[in-house]
Copies of this chain bind each other. A is one copy, B any other.
Amino acid sequence: MKPENTDCTERCPVLETVTRWTRRKDARPGEILDAALDLFVARGFSATKVEDIARAAGVTAGTIYRYYANKEDILKAVIRESLVPTLQEGEQLIAQFDGSGPELLAFVIRTWWQMHGATKLSGIPKLMIAEASNFPELARFHREEVIARGENLIASAIQFGIDRGEFRPVALDVAVKVVVAPVVMAMVWKNTDICPGLDLDHYLEEVIETLIHGLGARPGDKQNGESEA
C-alpha cells in the first residue's frame, strides 16, 4: 500500500548550520509549494502527507499551516501560482514570432514544451487529470485561466495558417484538441513511468511533423474566403 518511500529530504546543507529561525521567511511559501508540487505529482494528492511536504521543504508540518490553511489550500496554491506566470511569458514570446502558419504552430508547441514540458511544471497536467473531479473549483480555475489561454495561442496559430491557405479549414475547437493532446500526453508520460524508454524530444518532433502535414491544406480544400469556382 505504501509506495516506495521516496524520501525527498535533500536540504541545502549550507542552511543546516544556520539556526532554524534564520531561514528566510519570505522564501517559505515558495519552498513549500515547490516541495508540494513534486510530491503531489509523484504520489497524488491523497497519498501525499502534509508532513512529507514539510520534510521536503525543510520545515515541520506545523509551519506549513502558517502559510496555508489546509492541505487542499496547498494544492490550490500549487496550481494557481505555477502556470499563470509562465503563461504570460509564453504569450509574449509567441506574439513576437514571425513566420508561416506551420512554422508558428511548431514554434508554439516547442515554446510550450520548453517552458512547461521540460520543467517540473510538466507534472501539473497529471495532477489535474487525477484530481480535477475531486476539486471542481480548482478544475474550473485551471480550465479558465490556464487551458483556455493556452488553447487560444494554438487556435490563433491554426487560424493563421488556415487564413494563409497553409492549413485546411478545420473546426478550430476540435483541431486545437488534436494539437493539445499529444503534447499533454508527453507531459503525462514524462511524469509517469508509463512509457519508460520513450525519447520525448524525438516524439515531439514527430508530433509536430505529423500535425503540420496532417492539418496541411490539400488540393481541393475549400479555401477560406475563396470562391468555390
Contacts and interface: CB of A to CB of B under 8 A. Distances in A.
Nearest to A194: B132
Contacts of A198: 173-174, 177
Copies in the complex: 4
A152 to B, nearest CB: 14
A177 B194 contact: no
Given A126-B129, A133-B193, A210 B215 contact: yes
A3 B206 CA distance: 39
Interface in A200-220: 202-203, 206-207, 209-216, 218
Given A43-B134, A46-B46, 10 more contacts: A1-B71, A3-B135, A46-B47, A143-B194, A143-B196, A173-B198, A174-B198, A177-B182, A177-B185, A177-B198
Interface of A: 1, 3-4, 42-47, 70-72, 126, 128-136, 139, 142-143, 147, 170-171, 173-175, 177-178, 180-182, 184-186, 188-189, 191-196, 198-199, 202-203, 206-207, 209-216, 218
27 contacts: A1-B71, A3-B135, A3-B136, A4-B136, A43-B133, A44-B46, A44-B134, A126-B129, A128-B194, A129-B129, A130-B130, A132-B193, A143-B194, A173-B198, A174-B206, A177-B189, A177-B195, A177-B198, A177-B203, A178-B206, A178-B207, A182-B185, A184-B185, A210-B210, A212-B214, A213-B216, A214-B214
